[in-house]
Structure 1
Amino acid sequence: MTAGTLHIVAAEPVLHGVLKLTWDDGYEGIVDLRGIMAHGDIFTPLRDPASFKTVHVSPFGHSIYWGEEGDETVDFGCDRLRDLAEQQAALLARAS
């Protein structure tokens, strides 16, 4: 992961369970959350494609979330998402 404090500036659903994220350092990455979403009751709302599309970036870019600001149903932190994006990109690069 890149050193320094990062912030997410955009989150866009690519397909159900997959997001394109942009950080304030210009890095853009694809994060596949389908494996995570498949387990646990907390992720049940995200298994609905319409609900998944309602992703929000937190006011200061420290996370993404679903639900209402201040009462997030599910959230993922910026640093963890960056780790996932970089890990998944590396796996794809090795596979090609």
Structure 2
Amino acid sequence: MKKKIPRIVSAEPVIPGVLKIVWDDRYAGLVDLRPTISRGRVFTYLQKPENFQKVRVTEYGHSIEWIDDAGGQIDFAAGTLREKAEKQAAIIALAS
């Protein structure tokens, strides 16, 4: 049986490149996207703090997205973000 991927309820920038995300199963976590954003290319738009602030949750909570100046979509899936949040939380816990 497939594991149900929780939907995203909210996503808000904490600092440029880092989001606080809440899922519909009440899990909340920080997701550091700075390593991904620093790669450039499609993510160059998100390197400007004012652009990163424009994050929004998609209609059904399956992802978050930004629309760049050319109308292009930059998105991250809920499952990918959840994995990142859990992995990053585990690393922080180990370091404490």
**Same fold (TM > 0.5):** yes
Residue number in structure 1 paired with 2:79: 79
1:41 pairs with 2:18: no
Match of residue 56 from structure 1: 56
Gaps of 5+ in 1: none
In percent, how many aligned pairs have the same letter? 48
What is the CA-CA distance between 1:4 and the residue it aligns to? Answer: 1.8
Structure 2 gap ranges (5+): none
Q: Deviation string for 1:11-33 (max 9, x for gaps)?
A: 00000000000000000000000
- The runs of at least 4 aligned residues of structure 1 exceeding 2 Å deviation read none
The TM-score with structure 2 as length reference comes to 0.91
Matched residues in 1 for 2:72 and 2:19: separation?
A: 18
Secondary structure of 1:54 counterpart? coil
Is 1:5 the counterpart of 2:5 in the alignment? yes
Report the AA paired with residue 58 of structure 1: T
Count of matched residue pairs:
92
Alpha carbon RMSD of aligned pairs, Å? 1.3
Where 1:75 maps in the other structure, the secondary structure is strand
2:32 partner amino acid:
D
Q: Secondary structure at the match of 2:46?
A: helix
TM-score by length of 1: 0.91
Report deviation, 1:72: 4.7
